[in-house]
Structure formats: structure tokens, C-alpha cells
Structure 1
Amino acid sequence: MIYPLTTQAQLFAAVRANEPQLLEELLDRWHGGPVDRLLDRERCTLATLAAELGHTDILRTLRSRGFALDIPDDRGWTPAHAAALAGQTDAITTLQALGVDLARATHFGVTPAHLAAQCNHPGVIRALGAAGVDLSTPDALQRLPAHYAAQYGCVDAIQALGAAGASLDAMDVQGHRPVHLAARYGHDGVIRALAIFGTNLQATDRPGNTPIEVAHRAGHTHTVALLRDLISGPAASLMPWQQVRSRAGAEGGSGPSSRLPPTGPSH
């Protein structure tokens, strides 16, 4: 026997199907509790689901019905977090236009910028920066968005952060800098991007280790070779980071991806 969907299930189905008119009709028939706090099986609210899917018309409909678009779901994420994680740049700009705080953090201090950096969504990072969000805000462990991007090998995110003027050198609570995390995990592309933006490749972490020493201990011989080449190679092998930032701004913040030096040692 097939049972009809409950009104709550129909609400979430309308959001998934991107049907704002149907959503309006269902909201008119809703007689339960606060609808903006309803959760689906994945513990999402209607607004976080709409943001994750990039359904901007649904977000506008919810706002027109008086919904608060900054209420966290059971994961602690607001719609801005969901949009950043999924790379939904249009949802981010829509939320900004609707007056949503794009810098709100979870209980662990994680902001939408952290999630965009971790998932390598440069468009979201640029949208957050254009909205005036501080892209150097630390989480509870003093990790910046740059730490997230460096650990997960997100070159495009590092470029977007650097072009926006975000900090790329700070230490987290464990004494790690982004360049040390990139060295630890063998992310050569991140190291080249950090070098372009003027990161000190010989900086030490809190215990006194350089990126080369970190890469060596992790067994990343290719990263050790790259770091040595970048440190000792001719200055002309890297474009000055100030020039990269100015050009990136003139080109709409597209970043210097096409100007990265080639992988491996230069000759």
C-alpha cells in the first residue's frame, strides 16, 4: 500500500524540485510548529536544503514568508554554510542580498569561508570577499580558511584567498602554518600558489620545523625538491605576489592559475 506524503515531506519535496509556487501552497496549508525549524532525514532545514541545491527562488520565497535564513540546522550549519560547502555561488549572493550574515560561525568557529576553502570553491570565496566577509577569521583551533585549503590541496581556493588579501601565513593552535600543512600532505600545487603570493617557504612552525623538514619527515621527496628549487631558484621564476593581486583584481578576481610555474624543478 502506498501512503501519501505528509505535508512536511511535501514541503521538502517542493524545495528539492525547485517549485516555489507549490511551496507557497503547502505553506498556506501548514498548521504544525515553526516551519523554519523543520528538519528532513538529513537533518537539514528547508532553507539549508535550498541553499545546498542552489535554489535561489526558494530562498526568496522563504524570506518573503518571514523565514529566518540564518537559523542553524542540527549540524550547526546555516544556509550560508550549506551553500559554501556545495559551491553554490548564486545562493551566497542571494543570501547576501536578503540580508543574511555570511560570516556566522558554528560552535567550532567554522565559517562559510572555511568550508568553501576546504572544498575548493573559489567562486564562493570571491563572493564572500566581495560581500565584505573577513577571509582571515580563525576557527576554534585558530585555523584560517587558508589552513583548510592547504591541508586538502585546494589550489584554486588558495589563489582566491591570496588574491583577496587573506592571511596565508598565520599559525594555528598547534603551530602549523598553511605552507607546513601543504608540505606535510605533499600538495605541491598549493606550495607553488603560496610562493606566488609571497609566503616565506623557510618559515618555521612552533616546534621550529621548516616546510622542507616537514615534507622530508612525511616522505614527500617531490615536495622537498620543489621547495628547494623555489627557495634557491632565480627570482624571475615567480611572479611578484603584489602584481598577481593587482592583475587578479583587474580580471575580476580570476586568480593566477594560468601563471603558476610548472610542476617540479625549473632549469
Structure 2
Amino acid sequence: MDFTECYGDTCSAVALAAREGKGRRVQKLIQRGFAVDVKDNRGWNALHEAAAAGSAECVRLLLPAAVNCEDYVNTLTHNSETPLYFAARNGHLRVVKWLIKGGADINRTTNELSCPLFAAVDGGHKDVVELLVENGAEVNGTYSVSGWSCLHQAVYKGHTEFVRYLVSMCSLEAVDDYGITSLFVAAQYGHHQCLEILANAGANVNCQANDLATPLLIAAQEGHVRCVELLLSHGADPNLYCNEDCWQLPIHAAAQFSRLSILEKLIPVTKRECDRGEGKVSPVYLAVLSGQADSLRALLKKGYSPDAQSCRQFGYSCPLDMALWCNSWNLNSECHQIREITLMLLAAGAHVSMGIYAFALQGHVPEHLPLILEHAGLPRGDRLEELAHRAIGEMQSGSFWLPLLLKAGMDPMLLLQDKMLEEAENRVLNFFLEFINWKTLPSSMLQILSHRRADGTWTPRKHFESVPVLTHLCRLAVRAAVGSSALSKTSFIKQLPIPTLLQDYLQFSDVSGLLT
């Protein structure tokens, strides 16, 4: 090799002429004795330049000018690229023919694990691909850093004609380093024509990647409706678990990413055991977790339960529990969606556990408790007494929950406990006493009030010094007779043969605003 030439751009005179496709100048330089194998700082020589530029004439002149044609035609750049690699990558068919005739190594790989065939497929040069295959190019080799085959790359690029050409000679089940087949790639990128060719050729539509994901799952996740339709029509199993934790199905991905048209197709073919089955996870959870109100609406409309199984994977007892917690920490971007979801679950009859009531009493998100009381109402029986006990335990937020519970029909006598009188702040205590006969309290409770008055933590309203007025005593008697729950319903009050003014009075309208 001649190292005597020195050029400012590191490119030899022959290489520069070859780069520009000047065949006559290349010929003259060769005749004058200029070397054809001088490399630049990339490791390129004149043949690399001619091949990359697509100058078949220059390639024809350069090959016989080398000391050893076979070595010269396979000269490598610093990245292990051959002239044939450049010609194939750029789609120069005539150059590829000359290089093959000159003894080019068709299957030589670069440092990046590519090869002439892979590069031609990537560039979409079908005539070059066919020529390379005819001359022995390895169609089932693994290339690229992830181990893709040429078929993988053809599918990824969406080259339908290439796929149709390669499918008869390539392994359809060849996988990359992640266990992904060519059909999986077609589903992932939405190339439904490529997918159909592969499926018709017998490719496995239920193949699973290393993480157990299936083509149907990835197509659902990415929103490729046509691919989902094709996969289902070719026998793809929508009930094949697609996660190492054994719960995720394609329907979960559709719900999570709000792929509504796909969700509509998957609901009828997905087994309902995922809805409430032990150890499973309902897609309702994914709709709630991702704030997809439209997905949730579609699932509930088709009969999915608002009371899904307890979900250990996410750590929630039910979808409503998840929605309330998500609403408490997600107060910005998805807040409106989560509120809509909460309302949707309640309207669908979601069971409200005592834990949910207790969480709502804290008032982290003020609209939670009103929504729950409006749609689910107060619990009954022993659960109502437990709610009263839980409420007393949240006295720091008493100004929030007290008027709401009383308005919803809770009997204030359930809240008449020592802890209420001892810990309620001044205005909360005064508000509460308006709903009872403050003169008939047990002596122990009167003593508590006396102590609080003495230490300055309670300042009673003036009328608490007197016996309650007769009208107040009458409404207390009515409440005792019909119950607080009945009095909370305007429809019941309006049936009573009393003036409108007294209807409002029976509902304690004269004191309902004293706490605000």
C-alpha cells in the first residue's frame, strides 16, 4: 500500500475522482501510477467511494487496477464496511453486479452487525435484494444489535413486496434478542399487510416475546385496529396471559390506553374470569388507574362490574378505592377524568366499604364524601354506628364531615359521645348542639362542657343557657318518631300536612349554615 500521498482532505486523488464519478480521470490517474488503495481517515479507499456514489464505470476500472482484486474488493473501512455494503445500502444495482463478479463477500458484517442484504432491505432496494439472494446472501442470519433478521427489517420498514418475496425462504419464527418474531413486529408497528402475508404463510399469531407479550397485546396497546382484526381472524387467543405476573390480557392494554374501537372487539371474546376472578385483575382497574373514563364507560356498559376483585398487584381493595386514592394525589393533569370515573363507579352501584367512607371523612378531596353520600347514601345497621365511630376519630376534620353526615340523614345521637364533646373545636361543638336537646344531656357530658367552658376552649351560644324553644323540641320529637333518614328526604317532608316554612324548619334549615 502506498503511504506517500498526502492530501488536505485525507482523500486520495483517485478516491476523490471516484467520489465524483469521473471515470476518465480515474483511468488517467491509474495510468500515471496513482495507487487505488490509499485510505482516508475513515478507512475508505477509492473503491468505497465509487461504490457509495454508484459509479459502475469507476468500479469497473478500479477492480483490475488493484494488486489483489479479491482482497481489494473486500477492503474494510474502520467500521468494517465493504464496498458492496455501500452499494447495496444505496441501491446501486450495476455496482453490486460488478462487485459480486469481482469476488465480494456477500455476507460480510459491519461493526454494527449489518450486512449488504440487511442494508438493501432497510433501504427498500428490491432489485438489489433479489440479486444478493440469488448469489447466496444468507436470508436467515441475525443482524443489528438486537439480532433482527432481514425479514424483521422488511416488516419494520413496511416493505410489503419484500415480505412477500422473503416469506417463502426465511424462517417465520426467527426471534431477536427479546424473543420477538417478524409477525410481532408487524403487529407492533401496525403494518397490517405484512402481518396478513406472514399469517397466511403460517406464522404463529400466538407467539410470545420473552416478557410473554403477544402480537395481539402489542397491537391493542398501540391502537392498530386492522392488525387486531387480522390477528383475531387468524386465531389469536385474547385470553393468553401476557405478563410474568400472570394477569395482563390484550383487553387490559386496550382499556389502559383507551383504544375504544379495539376494546369493543375484545370485550366479546375475552373470558369474564378476569373481571372478578380470584388472583386476576379486572380491566376496570386499568381504566381507572390510567384515568380513561371512556374505557371505563365501555366496560361498565358491557357488564363489567364496578366491584372488581381485590387487586394485590396495585394494592387496592376495589376500583372505587383506587379512584379515590388517585384523585387524592393526582390533582392536576388527570383530575377531571378521575372525578368523572369516581362518579361513574358510584352511579354504577359500586360498593362503598367502611375504609372508603373513613378515607372520605378526612376531606383530602372535598368532593369525595358528598359524591359518596349522594350515590351510595349512609351505610345501615351496625355499619352506620361504625361510621359514626370513624367520624368521631376524625375530629380534626369535623367541620367538613359533620354537616354532610347530618344532611344525609345521620342521627346526631349516634355522634353524641364524650369524644365529640371533648375534642370538637368551638364552632363545630356549637353547631352539633343545635341538633339535640342540650338541656337533657347526661350529667357526665354536662360536666365535660362545663370544664371546656372554664378552660376557655368552648364559648357556648347564648340560647344554650335556656331551655330549647318549643318548636325545636317539637322537631326533635318528630325526628325521634320518623327517623333522621326520613327527615333528610325532601320528598318525605313535602308529604307532611304542614306549611312550607315548617318543612324547612324540620330539616334544620335555620342552623345548617352556621358552620360555614
Calculate the TM-score normalised by the size of structure 1.
0.75
Q: Does 2:150 match 1:112?
A: yes
- Whether the aligned pair in 2 keeps the contact of 1:121 and 1:156 (CA below 8 Å) is no
How much has 1:74 moved relative to structure 2?
2.0
State the distance in 2 between where 1:97 and 1:48 align: 16
State the distance in 1 between where 2:97 and 2:147 align: 27
* Superposed CA offset, 1:66-111 (max 9, x none): 1111001121011111122222222222112101211111364311
How much has 1:65 moved relative to structure 2?
0.8
- Whether the aligned pair in 1 keeps the contact of 2:80 and 2:109 (CA below 8 Å) is no
1:20 corresponding residue in structure 2: 56
5 Å matches for 1:1-267?
Answer: 4=13, 5-6=15-16, 7=36, 8=44, 10-30=46-66, 34-39=72-77, 44-106=81-143, 108-130=146-168, 132-206=169-243, 207-228=246-267, 231=269
How much has 1:158 moved relative to structure 2?
0.7
How much has 1:172 moved relative to structure 2?
0.7
How much has 1:152 moved relative to structure 2?
1.5
Q: Which runs of 5+ in 2 are unaligned?
A: 1-7, 17-35, 37-43, 271-516
State the distance in 1 between where 2:102 and 2:66 align: 12
Aligned residue type for 1:209: Q
How much has 1:181 moved relative to structure 2?
0.8
Calculate the TM-score normalised by the size of structure 2.
0.41
Aligned residue type for 1:218: F
How much has 1:161 moved relative to structure 2?
1.1
Identity %: 21
* Superposed CA offset, 1:209-252 (max 9, x none): 221111212232333124336x49xxxxxxxxxxxxxxxxxxxx
Aligned residue type for 2:74: D
* Superposed CA offset, 1:144-179 (max 9, x none): 111212212221221221122222211110111111
Aligned residue type for 1:223: I
Higher relative contact order (CA 8 A, sep 6+): 1
CA pair 135-92 structure 1, distance change in 2 beyond 3 A: farther
CA pair 217-92 structure 1, distance change in 2 beyond 3 A: same
* Superposed CA offset, 1:16-47 (max 9, x none): 4433232121223345975424238x874322
Aligned residue type for 2:119: A
Secondary structure, counterpart of 2:167 in structure 1:
helix
Secondary structure, counterpart of 1:203 in structure 2:
coil
Secondary structure, counterpart of 1:168 in structure 2:
coil
State the distance in 1 between where 2:231 and 2:87 align: 34
State the distance in 2 between where 1:23 and 1:12 align: 9
Aligned residue type for 1:129: V
Q: Which runs of 5+ in 1 are unaligned?
A: 233-267
